[in-house]
Amino acid sequence: MGCILASTTYEEQFKNFLKKNNLKFTKERREVLRAITIQRDHFHAEDIYQQLRKQKSNVSLATIYRTIPLLIDSGLIKGTIYGGERVVYEKVYNKPHHYHMVCLNCGKIIEFICPDMEVIQNNICRNNIFLSTEYNLEIKGYCQDCRRKMMNEKKEQKIQ
Ligand SMILES: [Zn+2]
Ligand SMILES: [Zn+2]
């Protein structure tokens, strides 16, 4: 049965989830889901809203905010970065576990995979007889472009 899940689309996955919870696959929910499937890796609720505006949809931002928890519970997306003013979401369905570096200046997000980290966290949990259900690693700092800009600004200040 495992391979059936792997081949299901976002829409099927969401439909199954709604059905299990006695919820309807409404036109609004379908539009929000479709807008999400065409988003880049990381997005804000407002990005979905802009996408729907472009498509002349009348789904409100409130509806988007109400639909997001359903999409999270169905395993399609998750809130991934909570640091700033707005939550960054990303699609997680069929995506390998990964971590993020976030630039404090421009907000750029760099994804990375680290199999060693999985081993380390497994060992830490085993040593503490702890069953982990979720863990995150987020590195905050400055991306290469922003660091270059900062260095140039410093140089200019020295020259003046
Ligand atoms: Zn940056
Ligand atoms: Zn990511």
Domain limits, the chain: 1-95, 96-160
Looking at all shown ligands, the one closest to residue 100's CA atom is: 2
Query: Over 70: is that where the pLDDT of 1 sits?
Result: no
Give pTM, 2 decimals: 0.72
The tens digit of pLDDT for each residue in 77-101 reads: 998 887 677 889 998 877 888 889 9
Domains 1-95 and 96-160 share a fold: no
Distance CA 29, CA 69 (A): 12
Query: Which ligand lies nearest the alpha carbon of 107?
Result: 1
Neighbouring residues of the ion ligand 1, judged by CB less than 5 Å: 103, 105-106, 108, 143, 146
Q: Are 37 and 52 in contact (CB under 8 A)?
A: no
Question: How confident is residue 155, by pLDDT bands cut at 50, 70 and 90?
Answer: confident
pLDDT over 50 at 2, yes or no: no
pLDDT given for residue 8 in this prediction = 58
What SS3 state is found at 93?
coil
Confidence at residue 4, expressed as pLDDT on a 0 to 100 scale: 39
Say how many Å lie between the CA of residue 109 and the centre of ligand 2: 8
Q: How would CATH label the architecture of 1-95?
A: Orthogonal Bundle (1.10)
For 118-143, write each residue's pLDDT tens digit: 899 999 999 999 998 878 888 999 99
What distance in angstroms lies between residue 112's CA and the mean position of ligand 1's atoms? Answer: 16
Q: Which residues of 65-99 are buried (b: 16+ CB within 10 A; e: fewer)?
A: eebbebbeebebbbebbeeeeeebbbbbbeeeeeb
Q: Which ligand has an atom closest to residue 136 CA? A: 2
Question: The CATH number of 96-160 is which of 3.30.1490.190, 3.40.50.300, 2.30.40.10, 3.30.450.20?
Answer: 3.30.1490.190
Report whether pLDDT(6) > 70.
no
41-78 tens-digit pLDDT: 789 999 999 999 999 999 999 999 999 999 999 999 99
Q: What's the whole-number average pLDDT of the chain?
A: 88
Specify the range with the lowest mean pLDDT, choosing from 16-25, 29-38, 41-50, 150-159: 150-159
Using DSSP bridges, classify how beta strands 138-141 and 99-103 pair: parallel, antiparallel or unpaired: parallel
The span from the CA of 22 to the CA of 39, in Å, is 27
